[in-house]
Chain A
Amino acid sequence: MMDILQLILLWFGIYYIVAVSLNMEFGYAGIPNFGKALSVLVGAISVGGILNRLLIWYFGVKGDLIEGSTFAIARMNEIIAAHPLAGIFLLLIAILLAMVVGFVVGMIFILPSAKLKADYLGVTLLAISEAIFLVCVYNLSIIGGYYGISTPDILAFAPGEKRGWIFAGIVLVFAFLSFLFMEKLLNTPYGRVLKAMRENEDVVKCFGRDIMKLRMRTMAIGSAIGAIAGVLYSFYTGNIVANSFTRVEWTFFPFLMILLGGKGNNKGVALGVLAYVIVIVFLDIYKYDIKEIFHIPFEPVWLTYILFGITMLLILYYKPTGLIPERPVKTPPVKRIMED
Chain B
Amino acid sequence: MVLEGAIIYSNLLVLLALGLTLTYITTNVPNFAQGSFAIVGSYIAVTLLRIFHIHPYFSLPFLLIAGAIVGFSTYLILKPLVARRADVEILMIATLAIDLILLGTIGAYSEILSKIVGFTQAKFVFSQLDFSIFGIKGIFFVSIAVTLLLLFCLYLLLYKTKFGTALRASMENPDLAETMGINVEQTRAFSWALSGALAAVAGGLLPFMQEIVPMTGDIIIISIFASSIVGGLTHITGALVGGYIIGLSESLITYYLSSIFGTGFLVYGKVVALVIMIITLLFVPSGIMGINWGKRPKK
Contact = CB atoms under 8 A, between A and B. Distances in A.
B222 A299 contact: no
A202 to B, nearest CB: 16
A122 interface: yes
Contact of B108 (A26, A113, A115, A303): A303
Contact of B219 (A134, A248, A305, A309): A134
Interface string B108-123: 1101100100000000
Interface residues on A, range: 35 or more
Contact of A32 (B92, B221, B278, B285): B92
A128 B274 contact: yes
B233 to A, nearest CB: 8
Nearest to B115: A297
A267 interface: no
A312 to B, nearest CB: 4
Contacts of A138: 267
Interface in A283-340: 297-299, 301-310, 312-313, 316-317, 320
B156 interface: no
Contact of B229 (A26, A123, A135, A299): A123
A304 B278 CA distance: 34
Contacts of A126: 32, 225
Interface string B265-284: 00110110110011001100
Interface string B205-221: 00000000000001101
A115 B285 CA distance: 10
Interface in B223-264: 225-226, 229, 233, 264
Nearest to A300: B108
Chain B binding site: helix, strand, loop or mixed by DSSP? helix
B271 A131 contact: yes
Nearest to B228: A123
Contact of A302 (B107, B221, B225): B107
Contacts of A309: 97-101, 104
Contacts of B282: 112
A304 B101 CA distance: 9
B225 A122 contact: no
A34 interface: yes
Contact of B88 (A119, A247, A299): A119
A38 interface: no
B81 interface: yes
A302 B277 contact: no
Interface residues of B, number: 50
B27 to A, nearest CB: 11
Nearest to A115: B285
Given A135-B268, A299-B111, A317-B80, A248 B89 contact: no
B87 to A, nearest CB: 8
Contacts of B108: 298-299, 302-303, 306
B94 interface: yes
B96 interface: yes
A112 to B, nearest CB: 4
B71 interface: no
Contacts of A134: 219, 267, 270
B93 A298 contact: no
B105 A302 contact: yes
Interface string A26-45: 10001010100000000000
Query: Considering the complex of A and B, which 7 residue pairs feature the smallest CB-CB distances, nearest first?
Result: A305-B104, A309-B101, A306-B104, A298-B111, A138-B267, A312-B97, A309-B100
Interface of B: 28-30, 32, 77, 80-81, 86-90, 92-94, 96-101, 103-105, 107-109, 111-112, 115, 218-219, 221-222, 225-226, 229, 233, 264, 267-268, 270-271, 273-274, 277-278, 281-282, 285
Given A119-B28, A313-B94, 7 more contacts: A112-B281, A116-B281, A116-B285, A127-B222, A134-B219, A134-B267, A298-B112
